[in-house]
Amino acid sequence: MAKSNKKLESKFQSDLKDDLKERFPGCIITKEDEQQIQGIPDLLILYGSSWATLESKRAFNSSHRPNQDYYVEKMDNMSFSRFINPENKESVLNELDNYFKKNSKKRKYWYLWGTVMIWNSHKNLEGTHAFLSASSYHWLNYSDEYLIEVFKNKLAAQKGTELHDLASRLIKLKVKLPKSDKALNAFVNDAIGYRMESELLLFYSINCYGTADAIYFGKQRGSDRMLLRIHDLKTGKTPAKMDQLMIYAALFCLEYGMKPGEIDMELRIYQGREILYYIPKPEEVLPIMDTIIRFDNLINNIKTQEGVN
């Protein structure tokens, strides 16, 4: 068992070295000799004008050998030192990244072997976009007041996404909220009461599809006609329109081969403390279906001409 544990720790340490070299290009990593100083951390990392030590462990609950806690604490007071394991690796490397950036000397250039530029690594930010990004350069012309307004709107949009996720989970679990005229409570409770599906994708083609917040299709009480019910939760302040739900209705009819005149439909928007109701007429849904078909054909023709899948 001891040999197996040692092998696991050795493998983790080897992978860790590769991660360090990728994250901190040009760094120098040395393996410290515990035979000379008992408890000294495994790895010494030299990067720019800074240094750090890491004591690698195969798991979070691995035992600490004599003096290891002492030297990790002592060297952390001197510079930067941590116990690192597979569970906390990312957070420790992020801390180390911040430490190196904070303590590096202010140089315009970093060189390796003369003239090769050593770029700072930002692996944790790849694929993301900053609020003040270069590609969204219009913020250069913002006033302080407008910047605050735009950023608050962004935060509100993030909150809206979280509320939609919460609503979807509650509906799927059939957990009702306290009775209230608040949009979230009414939306969740009504969706559960009407036995609706949450976050259902409606698909016509790769060029046209969308996800309904809540949807139901089935027989209605006291009638032989089928009912399509679509509910939408709005968390923003801008007054909502029914256009989005009308498109969902058209997509439903196209995907499932329904004729708008042969079914009943009810659309609802939950926003603030209000519920907007709308009963669309077949002659309102049919033109949307025709537009989807026409535009989809136009897009497919362009794709064929341009050799795009």
Structural domains of the chain in order of their starting residue, each with its CATH number: 2-117 (3.40.1350.10), 183-306 (3.40.1350)
Please give the torsion angle defined by the CA atoms of residues 193, 195, 197 and 198, in that order, rounded to the nearest 10 degrees: 20
Secondary structure of residue 4 in the 3-state scheme: helix
List the structure tokens of 188.
Answer: 């969740």
pLDDT at 88: 92
Structure tokens at 200: 């259902």
CA distance 164 to 215: 14
In terms of Cβ atoms closer than 10 Å to its own Cβ (0-12, 13-18, 19+), residue 196 is buried
Nearest to 270 by CA among 154, 195, 179, 191: 191
pLDDT for position 1: 45
Residue 198, CA distances (Å) to 229, 255, 278 in order: 12, 18, 20
Residue 166 is classified by DSSP as: H
Q: Which residues pair with 69 in a beta bridge?
A: none
d(CA 220, CA 199): 22
> How far, in Å, CA of 250 to CA of 231, rounded?
14
Note the pLDDT of residue 147: 96
The helix, strand and coil proportions of the chain, stated in percent and rounded to the nearest 5, come to 45, 20, 35
pLDDT value at position 108? 46
pLDDT at 111: 47
pLDDT tens digits for the chain (309 residues)?
445 555 567 788 889 999 999 998 889 999 887 778 888 998 999 988 889 999 988 888 888 888 999 999 999 999 999 999 999 999 999 999 989 888 765 444 444 455 566 677 787 888 888 999 999 899 999 999 999 999 999 999 999 999 999 999 999 999 999 999 999 999 999 999 999 999 999 999 999 999 999 999 998 888 889 999 999 999 988 888 999 999 999 999 999 999 999 999 999 999 999 999 999 999 999 999 999 999 999 999 999 999 987
